[in-house]
Structure 1
Amino acid sequence: MTLVEEFPGVRVRAPGKINVFLEVGARQEDGYHELATAFQAVSLFEDVVASLSDGFSLAVTGSVDTTGVPEDDTNLALRAARLLATEAGYGGGAHIDIRKDVPVAGGMGGGSADAAATLVACDALWGTGLSTRELHSLAARLGADVPFALTGGTAVGTGRGDALNPALARGRFEWVLVPGASGLSTPKVYRELDRMREEHAEHISPVSDTPTVSADVLHALRAGDPRMLAEVLHNDLQAAALRLRPDLGEVLDFGVREGALAGIVSGSGPTLAFLVESRQDGYGLQQRLARAGYEAIHAHGPVHGARIV
């Protein structure tokens, strides 16, 4: 039985993401940081089915461990449904069924994909007819990664990551992903980055308030050249994530030794993303990582954003 047969309603699929480049600006007075990032949506998806209900409720299953995923009003998808109902003046509710294939708390935006898919599903279910711009405005209010989960593809994000501009990416990039055995708290990783910058302030250049995405990254994406992209993968959060989880560094070293062009911590981690040259190389690396005892997933990008299926 398929998900849509089991839960009749509107089914929407939204992708997880990798940050192929992430530069983090200085900490602002409100505690947040300006970002400059290049997102790529990859072929790990979240499936959301919204069905009519008098109130709002949520159920979560998946191929990944969903133990830590809340099913109350703290869940971003449920917040998305309530926000849309409020903004559209809709008086009813929805039951949201989520099937997760994106690692939980893995730095790949799975919760944001759930929220984006819920916005699209409930908009269709209720016939609220919001424009793309209006949906993006609501998405930005829910979280920095939610707007990108709506659009998918490849994009540059600035501000807090939610001001998006499409980026041209030719061809198909092959990735092997290694989820962490346990999640990493995004706020904790940012706090660790701030701590490290304070510790080493005398030895590093001042951190910019307005970070930018390297032109070399955009050129590599436009060229569709994985070797060029491997040379410029960058994540300012990686050092902080590795300090909190030193074991991740051992996996990064292993993946590169076993044939990856490069490896990077995805977002705030702990998922690791290895870039390879071809689909065949991806399957080979996946097998070698598995033989060494690591869970490994072969994926590709870019893929589409949230859409009804």
Structure 2
Amino acid sequence: MSTAPVAVRAPGKINLALRVGAPDDDGYHPLATVFQAVSLHEDLIADHASGLSVTVEGRDADRVPTDDSNLALRAARLLQEHTGITDGAHLHIVKQVPVAGGMGGGSADAAAALLACDQLWDAGLSREELILLGRRLGADVPFALTGLTAVGSGRGDVLTSAMAQGGYHWVLAVQDEGLSTPRVFAAFDDAGGTRAAEPHVDDGLMAALRSGDPHELARHLVNDLEDVAVDLRPELGDVLAAADRAGALAAVLSGSGPTVAALALDEEHAESVAAVVREAEVAREVLVATGPVPGARVLGHVHDVA
């Protein structure tokens, strides 16, 4: 068993495409989505302790619960139950991913906790076993473990690696207030219309990713929830309009929102787009990130990490 604390880094994500099907008998919507992991990370340090506890610092830290509802704590507890290990851990999270923004920050915390505690306790689980545990914690947790670019089906938790060339530059407009995922899906259902029983990702999007051409990718960014999200939060329409005025190649709502991701041509263009969106004052914070990046990975034991 490791004696030194273990540091793990896990990425946030955006959805390049999100297709939503009609709800099943349990009320869950089948999804077809393309995730991309981006360079806003959650860093987690796991150290030996008598019980399980968590502390948080960084972006939006005051909005993250530290009680039993915390996803990282739930992940550590699930690992204990699965392995029979009774050791404890203190988890310290340093956040970069905005809270309640549709970017999977909580899921990244859970993925980081699974990997860190597996190392700390010498549990010896494979990445595939950790992914199966992650599916029990939330649909986005498996992707936070795998990272890069992937197609998600089912509830978004059944992943297939996507062939993707090159890197992409994103401008992320973050809002003050989150947008309830159940509320967005309820509005989507109320809006009616024909929903595919088995939604699928457009072949053109997959071809664009294989080409590595951001202009091609821009033509295929799509989110079936975007219209109802804008109906619920009309100011998101102002964000999308500001991104267009700023010269973004395209912009799309990430997940169920409210973060808007705008695609830029390169680093210089991303900074230019970000400056214009900031000046429009349509977001609490405007961030620049790149993707794809790897999934959750061990940075080392803390005495090894600079």
Q: TM-score, normalised by structure 1?
A: 0.93
Q: Distance in 2 between matches of 1:58 and 1:174?
A: 33
Q: Which residue of 2 aligns with 1:195?
A: 190
Which stretch shifts more, 185-194 or 299-308? 185-194
Letter in 2 for 1:239: D
Q: Distance in 1 between matches of 2:74 and 2:172?
A: 29
Letter in 1 for 2:42: E
The reply to whether residue 258 of structure 1 matches residue 270 of structure 2 is: no
- 1:30 CA displacement: 0.8
Letter in 2 for 1:68: R
Of 68, 73, 76, 1:81 maps to 76
- String of CA shifts for 1:163-221, please: whole Å, max 9, x gaps: 10100110111100010111111111111111112xxx4xxxx2111111111110000
Q: Which residue of 1 aligns with 2:294?
A: 304
- 1:67 CA displacement: 2.9
Q: Distance in 1 between matches of 2:273 and 2:210?
A: 25
For residues 47-62 of structure 1, what are the structure 2 equivalents within 5 Å? 47-62=43-58
- 1:27 CA displacement: 0.9
Q: Distance in 2 between matches of 1:71 and 1:226?
A: 39
- String of CA shifts for 1:250-290, please: whole Å, max 9, x gaps: 11111111110111111010111000111110011112222
The reply to whether residue 143 of structure 1 matches residue 133 of structure 2 is: no
Instruction: Name the SS for the 1:27 alignment partner.
Output: coil
- 1:232 CA displacement: 0.8
Of 218, 222, 230, 1:230 maps to 218
For residues 20-99 of structure 1, what are the structure 2 equivalents within 5 Å? 20-62=16-58, 64-99=59-94
Of 8, 11, 26, 2:7 maps to 11
Ranges in structure 1 where 5+ consecutive residues have no aligned partner: 1-7
- 1:61 CA displacement: 1.2
Q: Distance in 2 between matches of 1:116 and 1:251?
A: 30
Q: Distance in 2 between matches of 1:234 and 1:286?
A: 21
Letter in 2 for 1:259: G
The reply to whether residue 171 of structure 1 matches residue 166 of structure 2 is: yes
Letter in 2 for 1:290: R
- String of CA shifts for 1:66-105, please: whole Å, max 9, x gaps: 3331111111111000000110110111111111110100
Q: Which residue of 2 aligns with 1:3?
A: none
Instruction: Name the SS for the 2:40 alignment partner.
Output: strand
Q: Distance in 2 between matches of 1:70 and 1:187?
A: 19
Structure 2 contact 46–90 (Cα < 8 Å) conserved:
yes
Q: Distance in 2 between matches of 1:190 and 1:67?
A: 27
Q: Distance in 2 between matches of 1:229 and 1:269?
A: 20
Q: Distance in 2 between matches of 1:43 and 1:50?
A: 21
Which stretch shifts more, 234-243 or 284-293? 284-293
Q: Distance in 1 between matches of 2:89 and 2:183?
A: 33
Q: Which residue of 1 aligns with 2:198?
A: 210
Q: Distance in 1 between matches of 2:278 and 2:21?
A: 36
Q: Distance in 2 between matches of 1:168 and 1:274?
A: 21
Q: Which residue of 1 aligns with 2:109?
A: 114
Letter in 1 for 2:271: Y
Ranges in structure 2 where 5+ consecutive residues have no aligned partner: 300-306
Q: Which residue of 2 aligns with 1:240?
A: 228
Q: Distance in 2 between matches of 1:151 and 1:187?
A: 26
- 1:241 CA displacement: 1.1
Q: Distance in 1 between matches of 2:163 and 2:79?
A: 31
RMSD between superposed Cα atoms in Å? 1.0
Letter in 2 for 1:162: D
For these two proteins, the number of residue pairs brought into alignment is 294
- Misfit runs of 4+, over 3 Å: none
Q: Distance in 1 between matches of 2:101 and 2:185?
A: 15
Q: Distance in 2 between matches of 1:137 and 1:73?
A: 21
- 1:135 CA displacement: 0.6
Q: Distance in 2 between matches of 1:268 and 1:108?
A: 9
Q: Which residue of 2 aligns with 1:289?
A: 277
- String of CA shifts for 1:4-44, please: whole Å, max 9, x gaps: xxxx6111000000100010110111111110000000000
Instruction: Name the SS for the 2:268 alignment partner.
Output: helix
